[in-house]
């Protein structure tokens, strides 16, 4: 007869990472988000109601001890309520995780034997670097540095116990006060992307393709206009471990400063860029007209934006018509022109070297002013 072990049911083997098939299944990568999903995830404005924690009430008690008949009042003060604090964090890239309501923790009530109540804990709300805080249309805080904090709502003060009201005239006070309510405010948070360089151009000029070519960012690329619906930030890495952040701003059209097209919702992200990269399509007739229109839109939105350090990038040099328009573009504009092809990678080295020169000039300027440059 067969052995007893052979008659037992065969159980499936335990999961093991030594098996190549199981290891591949376990280490399966997360599915990349589409542009439509990224649009839902990326939030650059949020309305938040913040309420500070309420202070704890004062204690009401009298000291009682054998052979000490008149011990006197010993009710302690209540603890203060906790604040609601906005804190800039460079790991945060969107306001999507910010809730619509926050409240600080309440302070504890004062106890007997002159024991004070514990203060309420603070509530920290992490927001991206570059968050603008507004109240009733007025700017109340601008969080531009990592770790910078702003107290959005103060907690209420704790109440006084009856020990506080002890005096020569009143040796047995029974008065005690409740804790004060916390501050309540309605704030509007706006995110302005903080990047070193900003890619500015008309739709289908090749900004997203260029960002894909020089960094590891993966913005959507397609043959129809307004493919990019929210800003993307790509990091350009250099051999000396310096990192330059380049933001892909959604395409602008004529009248963008009047809220046409995607409007001013994304023009605000250009304000924080230290220098600009104008991307023009060399294959269109008279590409220098695009540059003039872009500068006009920036100047109408914010005075002095078009005067920042910049370079003109002529994209799609791989096309025959682009090679004909390149010398004409250089004659019409006074800025430095770099002809590249985001599709084939032609002349990207010159762009990366010039980008580093602009970054080094920005760092020296900030250090000369006594300020610390933005690092990624």
State pLDDT tens for residues 329-356.
889 888 899 999 988 888 899 999 999 9
For the CA atoms of 59, 65, 67, 69, the dihedral, rounded to the nearest 10 degrees, stands at 20
Domains of the chain: residue spans and CATH: 42-192 (2.70.210.12), 197-369 (3.40.50.300)
Written as six digits, the tokens of 283 are: 């294959």
pLDDT at residue number 203: 80
Q: Report how far residue 236's alpha carbon sits from residue 338's, in angstroms, rounded to the nearest whole number.
A: 18
pLDDT at residue number 60: 87
CA 213 to mean position of chain CA atoms = 24
Quote the mean pLDDT of the chain.
80
Strand order, beta sheet including 138-143: 101-103, 45-51, 184-191, 131-135, 138-143
Query: How much is the pTM?
Result: 0.65
CA 150 to mean position of chain CA atoms = 15
For the chain, what's the residue count? 376
Which pLDDT tens digit goes with each residue over 261-299?
455 556 777 777 888 999 988 988 888 888 888 888 888
pLDDT at residue number 104: 94
Q: Report how far residue 32's alpha carbon sits from residue 97's, in angstroms, rounded to the nearest whole number.
A: 19
Q: Which residues contact 111 (CB under 8 A, 6 or more apart)?
A: 59, 61, 75, 76, 117
Q: Report how far residue 145's alpha carbon sits from residue 72's, in angstroms, rounded to the nearest whole number.
A: 52
Beta strands at 131-135 and 123-128: parallel, antiparallel or unpaired:
unpaired
pLDDT at residue number 102: 95
CA nearest neighbour of 231 among 184, 195, 257: 195
pLDDT at residue number 15: 38
Place of tokens 């009143």: 170
Q: In the chain, which stretches have pLDDT less than 70?
A: 1-42, 219-230, 251-266, 376
């Amino acid at each position: 007869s067969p052995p007893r072990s052979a008659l037992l049911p065969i159980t499936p083997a335990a999961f093991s990472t030594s098996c190549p098939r199981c290891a591949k299944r376990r280490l399966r990568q997360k599915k990349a988000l589409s542009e439509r999903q990224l649009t839902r995830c990326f939030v650059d404005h949020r309305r938040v109601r913040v309420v500070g924690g309420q202070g704890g009430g004062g204690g009401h008690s009298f000291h009682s001890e054998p052979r000490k008949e008149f011990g006197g009042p010993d009710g302690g003060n209540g603890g203060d309520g906790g604040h609601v604090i906005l804190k800039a964090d460079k790991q945060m890239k969107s306001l999507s995780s910010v809730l619509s309501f926050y409240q600080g923790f309440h302070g504890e009530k004062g106890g007997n034997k002159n024991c004070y109540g514990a203060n309420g804990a603070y509530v920290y709300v992490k927001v991206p670097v570059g968050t603008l805080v507004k109240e009733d249309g007025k700017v109340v805080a601008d969080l531009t540095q990592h770790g910078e904090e702003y107290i959005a709502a103060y907690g209420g003060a704790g109440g006084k116990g009856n020990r506080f009201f002890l005096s020569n005239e009143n040796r047995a006070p029974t008065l005690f006060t409740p804790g004060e309510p916390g501050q309540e405010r309605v704030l509007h948070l706006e995110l302005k992307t903080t990047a070193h360089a900003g890619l500015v151009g008309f739709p289908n000029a090749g900004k997203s393709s260029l960002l894909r070519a020089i960094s590891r960012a993966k913005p959507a690329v397609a043959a129809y206009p307004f493919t990019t619906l929210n800003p993307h930030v790509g990091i350009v890495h250099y051999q000396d471990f310096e990192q330059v952040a380049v933001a892909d701003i959604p395409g602008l059209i004529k009248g963008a400063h009047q809220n046409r097209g995607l409007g001013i919702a994304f023009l605000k992200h250009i304000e924080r860029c230290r220098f600009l990269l104008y991307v023009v399509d060399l294959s269109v007739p008279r590409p220098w007209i695009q540059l003039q229109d872009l500068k006009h839109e920036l100047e109408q939105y914010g005075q002095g934006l078009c005067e920042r350090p910049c370079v003109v990038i002529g994209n799609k040099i791989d096309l025959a018509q682009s090679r004909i328009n390149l010398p004409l573009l250089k004659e019409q504009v006074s800025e430095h022109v770099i002809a590249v092809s985001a599709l084939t990678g032609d002349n990207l080295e010159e762009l990366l070297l010039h980008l580093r020169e602009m970054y080094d000039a920005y760092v020296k300027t900030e250090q000369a002013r006594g300020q610390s440059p933005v690092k990624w």
